[in-house]
């Protein structure tokens, strides 16, 4: 007669595995994210992040259905002879879940007027918002 033995933690482990599988199904990683990283931020909010190469301005698809907040960081350095970016900002896009990322530089070393950057810059972005199908 064969006896089956189980470890007391097996039940807890299988519950955790089931929870992780359910969470993965709710996230439904799809084509709209490509290389975007998505994590749960709590209180029904999700956080997505990635990097984009921006020259002047660029519309970025965040993978969220609505965007509540955005954090931007300029990365890397520019080729010598170019004025470095002075400001990076974002604005809402007309497309749900998308944002505009803007990179500005000074007109010249003697004129602080801001213009769109004319050299490609790497901007890391992180957006927090909601995803309707992930509830």
pTM tops 0.75: no
Q: What is the per-residue pLDDT for 24?
A: 44
Q: Is 82 part of a structural domain of the chain?
A: yes
Span 54-93, pLDDT tens digits: 999 999 999 999 999 999 998 866 554 455 777 889 999 8
- Backbone phi and psi for residue 32, each to the nearest 5 degrees, phi listed first: -70, -15
What is the span of the domain harbouring residue 82? Answer: 36-134
Q: Which pLDDT belongs to residue 82?
A: 54
User: Do 91 and 57 meet the contact criterion of CB atoms below 8 Å apart?
Assistant: no
Give, in order, the Cα–Cα distances in Å from 116 to each of 55, 74, 77, 92, 94.
8, 14, 17, 17, 20
* Residue 30 lies inside a defined structural domain of this protein: no
Q: Does residue 24 lie in a domain region?
A: no
**DSSP state at residue 78:** P
CATH of residue 91: 2.60.40.3940
- Write out pLDDT tens, residues 6-43: 555 555 555 555 555 444 433 433 333 446 788 888 88
């Amino acid at each position: 007669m064969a006896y089956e033995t189980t470890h007391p933690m097996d039940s807890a482990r299988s519950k955790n595995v089931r929870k992780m599988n359910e969470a993965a199904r709710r996230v439904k990683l799809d084509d709209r994210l490509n290389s975007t990283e998505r994590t749960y931020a709590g209180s029904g909010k999700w956080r997505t992040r990635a990097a984009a190469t921006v020259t002047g301005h660029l519309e970025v698809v965040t993978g969220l259905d609505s965007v509540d907040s955005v954090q931007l960081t300029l990365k890397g350095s520019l080729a010598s002879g170019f004025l470095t970016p002075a400001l990076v900002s974002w604005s809402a896009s007309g497309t749900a879940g998308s944002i505009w990322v803007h990179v500005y530089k000074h007109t010249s070393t003697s004129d602080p007027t801001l213009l769109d950057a004319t050299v490609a810059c790497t901007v890391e972005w992180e957006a927090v918002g909601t995803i309707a199908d992930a509830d």
